[in-house]
Amino acid sequence: MGDGMTRNLKNSDSYGGIIAKRLSRRAALMGLASTAALTAVPGLLSKSAQAAARGSLRFAELERVYDQTHHVADGYDASILIRWGDPIAPDAAFDPAAVTAESQSKQFGYNCDFLAYMPLPAGSANSEHGLLCVNNEYPGPHVMWPGMTEDDAGAKATEEQVRAMQASWGHSIVEIRKADGLWSYVQNSEYNRRISGLTEMAISGPAVGHPLMKTSADPTGTKVVGTGYNCAGGTTPWGTILTCEEGLSDTFGGDPAKAPDQKLLERYGYDGSDYYGMARVDERRHLDKEPNEPNRFDWVVEIDPYRPGSVPVKRTALGRFAHEGATTVVNKDGRVVVYMGDDDYFEYLYRFVTKGTFNPNDRAANMNLLDEGELSVARFDASGDVHWLPLVHGQNGLTAENGFADQGEVVIKARLAADHVGATPMDRPEDFEASPVNGRVYAVMTKNAKRKPEQVDAANPRAENKTGHILELSPPGEGKDADHAAAAYKWEVFLLGGDPDKPGDAAKYNAGVTANGWIVTPDNIAFDPRGRLWIGTDGANDFGMADGIYGTDTDGEGRAVPRLFFACPTGAEACGPAFTPDGQTMFVSVQHPAEDSETLEMVTTRWPDFVANVPPRPSIVAIVKKGGGEIGS
């Protein structure tokens, strides 16, 4: 995908004019002096200047470092909580020479991404005992087994290795405890669970039983085996996990030209590439033999971590696309709002508003709340307005005459529906989160080097955007009075990534950013209990830097002044992060260490074990403040 997916190719205001309009309006709304408004920083500040502008964050900023291990700011401990392959069931010891589907189904999964801390008991605010719920995005066969490169792993993998890869991704749930300031996991907990590419799931919502969801193995269109590419996600107010399938197009083989709906397959990137060799062991993954099987993937899956025997459910009302994030807000009228990004070049930002309202006193009553409501997609105007365009059958031209026979077809073809209504193509939308304090919503565009000058628009103001940016959306109202179900919001540029000392980057931050604090390729974001924003990056390695976690305020003198807090080992990406309710522990996923290696025999790091013959292992890091206290304060 990429330029071939481009829509709405129109010239817009000049880059400088766009930014000037957005920033002058933000300064007026926030009552900021012109020196406090977001500006291009002409030079990086000294430590004394930084201290004067640092806002609420009180940690000593980490100096940039990129080596074989992880690093955290002075005054903090970062310990390994759990690693790929660690047993979460009896008799499941990790043997790197014998990675099988059976062993992986009893072990912590590969390539940890989104994570959530869910207190025990359910509904409590316990910050020392809970469930760690972690997405396992994808396997890395070239650094899991010897003799493979990144290019040939799919062809060389044995059937057992392919099955092991299917069992290694998905989602992991483990019980964890904190004792004497240290976190550990409970190996034989009743809650421990692996949900993977081999797990059967239910289908619900408008697409359940739809003709486009029926296959030879499931003529009812009501159930499906497996999930995968589980990237970012979210939690619900009733204590469930929303894990996001981020586009499984390259896990299918066969010839899409022989399928009945080649246009739909093409729009979702299904080209028969079969990167991991999964079609070699699963007949259903042949596009020309089971053309509806792809329609059963690329959804948001709801998991109840408190009920180990519960069946995961693919919630089709939330639409089908390369999901990156599904974060929720209880609106002031009680309806639940879900914010979602479609992580690909020139794709869109989506929102779902439930029809029913959240019942805080009856957990069971909320369990199907995500099956009915309104899905919509964002259109950004240069005037500073963002409009939510309903993706509802019968509205905005989404009719049978235009290829949308019913609401089931609208959600299955959500990308095509968004194209039709005129949504704004974005620079790879990733995480999309609402502040628990100010009520504003922050959307991450990780990068888009494919955007050409004539494709620049107000919300995506740079051609060849290699360093990414973050937008701030403001629903009507403030804080808990914000109306997240409103048809239109205001929007601003929060920051533009890049090196402020390089004019060609056109980076934008507030005054106070240091040589260690500027960012590239933002990805995951999270808020701590105080409403401060923490940013994980994915792609800094391409700039010769470590990916990591940065903290920033969203208001006041520290607004849009990121500060480096945690750095990953070589080849790794920082995902998450997540906090305990008291804000005293930050959990970070360190994904794909040594992925930049050509082969396992030539790995750039064997983090975190640093033992010969043990491969690099994606892991969860638990960060606490030495002596106790809130992270960042």
pLDDT tens, 221-255? 999 999 999 999 999 999 999 999 999 999 999 99
CB count, 10 Å around CB of 613? 10
| Residue 3 confidence (pLDDT) above 90 | no
| Residue 137 confidence (pLDDT) above 80 | yes
Confidence of residue 114 (pLDDT cuts 50, 70, 90): very high
Can you give the residue ranges of every domain in the chain? 3-248+297-625
Say what percent of the chain tops pLDDT 90. 91
Distance CA 403, CA 410 (A): 9
Q: Write down the mean pLDDT value for the chain.
A: 92
| Residue 351 confidence (pLDDT) above 90 | yes
| Residue 31 confidence (pLDDT) above 60 | no
pLDDT mean over 459-467: 98
Cα–chain-centroid distance for residue 563? 21
| Residue 24 confidence (pLDDT) above 80 | no
Nearest-CA neighbor of 605 among 596, 613, 594? 594
| Residue 606 confidence (pLDDT) above 80 | yes
Nearest-CA neighbor of 404 among 319, 491, 509? 319
Helix (H, G, I), strand (E, B) or coil at 258: helix
Burial class (CB in 10 A: 0-12, 13-18, 19+), 65: middle
Distance CA 234, CA 375 (A): 17
DSSP 399: S
pLDDT mean over 24-42: 39
pLDDT at 38: 53
Q: Is the CB of residue 607 less than 8 Å from the CB of residue 616?
A: yes
User: What's the CATH number of domain 3-248+297-625, 3.30.565.10, 3.40.930.10, 3.90.600.10, 2.120.10.30?
Assistant: 2.120.10.30
pLDDT at 599: 96
| Residue 29 confidence (pLDDT) above 90 | no
pLDDT mean over 256-280: 96
Residue whose token pair is 């005037």: 383
Q: Which of 8-22, 101-115, 318-332, 477-491 has the lowest mean pLDDT?
A: 8-22
pLDDT mean over 419-434: 98
**500-553 pLDDT, tens per residue?**
999 999 999 999 999 999 999 999 999 999 999 999 999 999 999 999 999 999
| Residue 16 confidence (pLDDT) above 50 | no
pLDDT at 54: 64
pLDDT at 53: 54
Report the number of secondary-structure helices (H) and strands (E) in the chain: 8, 31
pLDDT at 84: 98
Q: Which of 54-58, 390-394, 399-403, 452-456 has the lowest mean pLDDT?
A: 54-58
pLDDT at 86: 98
Confidence of residue 154 (pLDDT cuts 50, 70, 90): confident
| Residue 11 confidence (pLDDT) above 60 | no
| Residue 350 confidence (pLDDT) above 90 | yes
